Amino acid sequence: MKTGGALVIGAGPAGLMAAETLAQAGMRVTVAEAMPSPARKLLMAGKSGLNLTKDEPIESFLAAYGAAAEPLAPMLHAFGPDAVREWAEGLGQPVFAGSTGRVFPRAMKASPLLRTWLARLDSLGVSLRRRWRWTGWEGDAVCFDTPEGRQRVTPAVTVLACGGASWARLGSDGGWAAHLPELTAPFQPANMGFRVDWSGHMAPHLGRAVKGVRLQAGAATSRGEFVISARGIEGGGVYEVSRALREGATLSVDLMPDVPLDEVRARLDRPRGKASMGNHLRKALKLPAAKQALLMEFARPLPADVAPIVKALPVRHAGPLPLDEAISVAGGLRWDALDAGLMLRDRPGVFAAGEMLDWEAPTGGYLITACLATGRWAGRAAAERG
């Protein structure tokens, strides 16, 4: 391959945005992707509705990134929620905001947006190399295993956009960390489910969604729903408190968040006659079967005063589900290993972007927005250097 030009490793949202930015700056760009096709994780996200960003003020948007908000701030100010909407619409994909502020393409899927994006990159002269797996450096040369054999490339600038360490089958396997071990904080699951060793009586409820609850873990709360899976609890409501749970907070669930404690107690104080406690709970509180099953799973033997348990049911779990099944990851390239332009301090001319950086965020549009913003930021800095 020719020397010079710009090399982007990874064809997810961060890598494709870096490639677009570099090409628009007039550079010759090659994107090397380890998988047979680009942006597989983006396409998977689009199967349930592609949540691109969130319609909220940038200050509260930044707060979702926790400790990483400070280093990410200039990138998200430069390319935040409004810019993401304009970018998507510039690709011919009108967007809308749902009732919670989450922003989706009207087509909901990722494939129409990706097709148009790839066509734009092709028109800019960007070259996409598929099944090119990065194997490290030899001096200034970047090395790859490819279907045509081993390849060495010596670009003017490189942007690493290799993803995190979850969903290996989609290309994000974290294997790149072996090439940068001293610069990488350990990976941890983020936006993940948690293992629960259910008793046999939960079998009829596996796969059911539990709606209309409030989850609490330390200072983190969620009004989302979750799913009782065969292995534990999963879904958006759990993901929103998963960071706090991973860090050791206990989990409680308010099964009736819109009913005050005194009202729950008053309903339960009504005479129950010969009805069993289970039937009394069902009739007095009108709890759906899945909620009542959770109550019996975690609160037996029931105390005389059940109301506080209904409002704060302690949920025991056995830790996160495997890293490879997490929606995203914490850990990755440390911020102190990068300069303000996302260039590796120890390797001038090499920049990094996307989920391979050490940040995490809840679902809800924050993940894709930060990938796009860091990809654009790294692409601009690389173009200035190149």
Q: What domains can be seen in the chain, in order of their start residue?
A: 6-189+329-385 (3.50.50.60), 194-315 (no CATH)
71-130 tens-digit pLDDT: 999 999 999 999 999 999 999 999 999 999 999 999 999 999 999 999 999 999 999 999
Token couple for 365 = 């549009």
Count of beta carbons in the 10 Å neighbourhood of residue 68: 18
pLDDT tier, 70 (very low <50, low <70, confident <90, very high otherwise): very high
Token couple for 218 = 């330390």
CA 382 to chain centre: 26
b/e 5-20 (16+ beta carbons within 10 angstroms → b): bbbbbbbbbbbbbbbb
Inform me whether the pLDDT recorded for 224 exceeds 90.
no
Give the whole-angstrom CA distance, residue 328 versus residue 365. Answer: 12
16-52 tens-digit pLDDT: 999 999 999 999 999 999 999 999 999 999 888 999 9
Inform me whether the pLDDT recorded for 315 exceeds 90.
yes
Partner residues linked to 30 by β-bridges: 7, 127
Q: 386 and 156 in contact (C-beta within 8 Å)? A: yes
Q: What is the phi/psi pair of residue 227, to 5°?
A: -115, 140
Strands across the sheet with 133-138, in order?
A: 133-138, 141-146, 149-153
Residue showing tokens 């009732």: 99
CA 152 to chain centre: 33
- With CA atoms as reference, report the closest residue to 291 among 270, 269, 264: 264
353-371 tens-digit pLDDT: 999 999 999 999 999 999 9
Give the whole-angstrom CA distance, residue 16 versus residue 39. Answer: 9
Q: What is the phi/psi pair of residue 41, to 5°?
A: -70, -35
Strand 141-146 to strand 149-153: parallel, antiparallel, or no bridges (unpaired)? antiparallel
Handedness of CA 215, 219, 220, 222 (dihedral sign): positive
Minimum mean pLDDT among 159-163, 274-278, 344-348, 368-372: which range? 274-278
Residue showing tokens 């190149």: 386
For residue 223, what are the CA distances in angstroms to 68, 191, 246? 24, 15, 19
Q: Give me the pLDDT at residue 278, please.
A: 82
Q: Give me the pLDDT at residue 276, please.
A: 82
Give the whole-angstrom CA distance, residue 110 versus residue 132. Answer: 23
Q: 215 and 313 in contact (C-beta within 8 Å)? A: no
Q: 147 and 46 in contact (C-beta within 8 Å)? A: no
CA 256 to chain centre: 28
Q: Give me the pLDDT at residue 32, please.
A: 98
Inform me whether the pLDDT recorded for 3 exceeds 70.
no
State pTM to two decimals. 0.94
**Helices (H), strands (E): how many in the chain?**
13, 21
